[in-house]
Amino acid sequence: MAEPILQVRGLVKHYPLTQGIVFRKQIGAVKAVDGVDFELAAGETLGIVGESGCGKSTVAKMLVNLEKPTAGEIAYKGEDVTRLSGRALKAVRRNIQMVFQDPYTSLNPRMTVGDIIGEPYEIHPEVAPKGDRRRKVQDLLDVVGLNPEYINRYPHQFSGGQRQRIGIARGLALRPEIIVADEPVSALDVSVQAQVINLMDRLQTEFDLSYVFIAHDLSIVRHISDRVGVMYLGRIVEIGRDAEIYDHPTHPYTQALLSAVPVPDPEAREHRERIILFGDVPSPANIPSGCRFRTRCWKAKERCALEVPLLAVPAEFRHEAAGPAAHDSACHFAEEKQVVPPEEPQEESKKESPAEPVDKIQDEPTDDVK
């Protein structure tokens, strides 16, 4: 396998928990990200999913250098970017851009669309000389399906989907190789979500992009991801090729998340088991010993409190495991076939597609400027 474009090893972000106003004393740490490993191949999309608060945005911010890791390594083409500074860091940052979650708050309301999309050129003037910028921004508007004549309008004149197109255009301005998209469609209407995902899919081919695509829901990343990683309390608990994760999830948390994904076919819905997790997600300031999922897991045994399960390839998938395409699951009992909690009957319709494919809706930008 070719060297991955991005390699993340042991990534950690702990925020100190302090007490006292004058003499701040550290009394603990919020373990927002607590040992994350993954690789991203060139041209690939890695979906990262998990409930709110599990550390997805913190990982994204570290990838684009908006947060400094407490520990760990982020290697871009083999070079650890967490150790770079100055010019070398700037060159790498140009190649890893972010698309933010909320297009309503992430665009400056007092700047025109042209200034928003062209802002990265202020930091990297070498990419577009001043005289060239307006044309470049208009090209970008066209590329994301917006009318280039809108260049002088303000964000409030656009719909949510259009604003996210503006955010994407801005992310593309420096022609990056990697885009980290942090829940890019979560704030949008369901009908618009598919349009934006389809746009990103098309841009990936057009611009040779690699994506880290974050979502809180497995159904959103299915269409666009080659591989999917599932996060729980600051760690990836299962990662693998998209078909492996959706059709043969081996971590109980993934199984529970998948059981909550809407099924369009009513018959399949009848046969499907819902796995209801008990309890709340523990606080990242107070992570359970051993397996961090054990307090909510119906498979948990004594061993789970004592031993931290590592991401490893379950035996049944080992033969076809090749590099990062392998299917890894951080569960001591990943090899057990049992998919539903013991008191429930065995699921029969697992082969049914768990989610409505998002690509059914046409990718048609709407030009409904208010």
Which residues of the shown chain bind ligand ADP in the complex (CB under 6 A)? 15, 30, 32, 50, 52-58, 284
Min separation Cβ 56 and Mg ion, Å: 5
Q: Which is nearer to ligand ADP, 56 or 94 (CB)?
A: 56
Min separation Cβ 55 and ligand ADP, Å: 4
> In 176-215, which positions are buried (b, 16+ CB within 10 angstroms) versus exposed (e)?
bbbbbbbbbbebbeeebbbbbbbbbbebbeeeebbbbbbb
Do residues 212 and 7 make contact, with C-beta atoms less than 8 angstroms apart? Answer: no
| Residue 58 lies near Mg ion (rule: CB under 5 A) | no
Query: Which token pair is 124?
Result: 């990297």
Q: Which is nearer to ligand ADP, 63 or 326 (CB)?
A: 63
Q: What distance in Å separates the CA atoms of residue 38 and residue 180, rounded to the nearest whole number?
A: 14
What does the longest C-alpha to C-alpha distance in the chain come to? 69
Residue with structure tokens 């033969």? Answer: 319
Residues from 163 through 222 that contact Mg ion (CB under 5 A): none
Beta-carbon contacts of 173 under 8 Å, excluding residues fewer than 6 positions away, are 117, 118, 119, 120, 121, 127, 128, 136, 137, 140
Q: Which is nearer to ligand ADP, 15 or 154 (CB)?
A: 15
Among the listed ranges 11-19, 49-57, 232-240, 283-291, the one in contact with Mg ion (CB under 5 A) is: 49-57
Among 5, 12, 36, 57, binds Mg ion (CB under 5 A): 57
Residue 143 touches which of ligand ADP, Mg ion, none (Cβ within 5-8 Å per kind) = none
Min separation Cβ 158 and ligand ADP, Å: 25
Residue 155 touches which of Mg ion, ligand ADP, none (Cβ within 5-8 Å per kind) = none
Residue with structure tokens 């062209």? Answer: 118
Min separation Cβ 14 and Mg ion, Å: 17
Residues engaged in binding Mg ion (CB under 5 A): 56-57
